[in-house]
Amino acid sequence: MYKVTKDELLLDSLVEHTRKKKNDCKNLLKYKSVQVNGEVQTYHAFELHPGDEVEVGKKTNLPFELLYEDDDMIVINKPSGLVSEETRNNKYQTAFYMVMEYCRKKRQQCYLVHRLDQDTSGVLMFVKNKKLYQELTHNWNKYVKTRGYVAILEGQCRKSGTIKNHLVEDKQLKMRIAKEGQLAITHYKPLEVSKDYTMMEVFLDTGRKNQIRVHMASLNHPIIGDKKYGARTNPLKRLGLHAHEFAFTHPFTHKTMTFKAPLPSSFTQMFKPSKR
């Protein structure tokens, strides 16, 4: 929320304060994601005056942050603990079901094009038409440009590098490094290092199951909260993995679209100097 300090039009104000492109701000208005003085406003030339309060991204009837929406897609910031899609025992408490219901009320379709592990938070994209869904899923690696994550690791890891090996799933449903597995490539560099933990930025060239978790554990610095792959600590009571950036080239407009989910405050709080 911000308070208006001058006479201006709503669209111009949104561009200035959100630092989003004009078309993105038009979509915020179109999909009723902007309120002025507590009321939803969709008119881009609505006149603002000093003292008016503008709130962006509220009242979507979704229990999580809506990062972006247009006629083709919807992008959310999935919270940790929420399953991406339905399972045998869980149909309704899933990100897909919640977004599907949100779209259904507007007579729109909904398709899930990629997934995040239940305990991973961050950028998750859905599309609204079958043609786009089929094109993306059949040619995923052709269109996806960036898959960026931030992981909180146990211990101090000050080196950057690339891990390239092969991963296979064993009978216990645990991924392990093995020559007969599928190629997995991960790039990593440290962002912050404290006495006990490292904030690591990670980019994927491939998207194997549990890839980041296995690769960080192979450095002897498992992700916090990841008991499955050797973590001994769980200071945040969740897996320390967040999908913070996703970029792809739209198959039909040929524009590169980039989405970012802000880091959980609990992640950044771990690296703030302690007050004495």
* Pairwise CA distance, residues 71 & 52, whole Å: 29
Q: Is 228 left (phi over 0), alpha (psi -120 to 50) or beta?
A: alpha
Residue 243's pLDDT band, with cuts at 50, 70 and 90, is very high
Choose among 203, 210, 208: nearest CA to 228: 210
Tell me phi and psi for residue 18, to 5 degrees: -90, -15
Residue 59 has pLDDT above 70, yes or no: no
Q: 26 versus 166: which is more confidently predicted? A: 166
Residue 196 has pLDDT above 60, yes or no: yes
Is 117 annotated in the active site? yes
Residue 91 has pLDDT above 80, yes or no: no
Side chain identity, residue 218? S
Residue 58 has pLDDT above 80, yes or no: no
Architecture of domain 143-276: 2-Layer Sandwich (3.30)
Scanning 53-177, the segments in alpha helix (DSSP H) are 95-104, 130-138, 140-143
Query: What local confidence, expressed as pLDDT, does residue 30 receive?
Result: 77
Query: What local confidence, expressed as pLDDT, does residue 88 receive?
Result: 77
pLDDT in tens, 211-227: 999 999 999 999 999 99
Tell me, yes or no, if the pTM score tops 0.75: yes
Residue 24's pLDDT band, with cuts at 50, 70 and 90, is confident
The fold of the 63-138 domain, in CATH, is Pseudouridine synthase (3.30.2350)
- The burial class, CB within 10 Å (0-12 / 13-18 / 19+), for 139 is exposed
* Pairwise CA distance, residues 181 & 248, whole Å: 27
Residue 33's pLDDT band, with cuts at 50, 70 and 90, is confident
Residue 275 has pLDDT above 90, yes or no: no
Q: Superfamily assignment of 1-59 in CATH? A: RNA-binding S4 domain (3.10.290.10)
Residue 19 has pLDDT above 90, yes or no: no
| Cα 51–Cα 53–Cα 57 angle in degrees, nearest 5 | 165
Per CATH, 63-138 and 143-276 having the same topology is answered yes
Chain mean pLDDT for the chain: 92
Q: Where are the domains of the chain?
A: 1-59, 63-138, 143-276
pLDDT in tens, 101-154: 999 988 999 999 999 999 999 999 999 999 999 999 999 999 999 999 999 999
Scanning the chain, the segments in alpha helix (DSSP H) are 10-18, 22-30, 95-104, 130-138, 140-143, 211-218, 265-269
pLDDT in tens, 66-90: 899 899 999 999 999 999 998 777 8
Give me the percent of the chain exceeding a pLDDT of 90.
76
pLDDT in tens, 147-168: 999 999 999 999 999 999 999 9
Residue 23 has pLDDT above 80, yes or no: yes
* Pairwise CA distance, residues 245 & 145, whole Å: 10
Residue 42 has pLDDT above 90, yes or no: no
Query: What local confidence, expressed as pLDDT, does residue 163 receive?
Result: 98
Choose among 226, 33, 37, 18: nearest CA to 117: 226
The mean pLDDT value for 184-195 works out to 98
> Which residues, in sequence order, are CB contacts of 197 under 8 Å at separation 6+?
152, 153, 154, 155, 156, 224, 235, 270, 271
Catalytic entry in 12, 72, 117, 205: 117
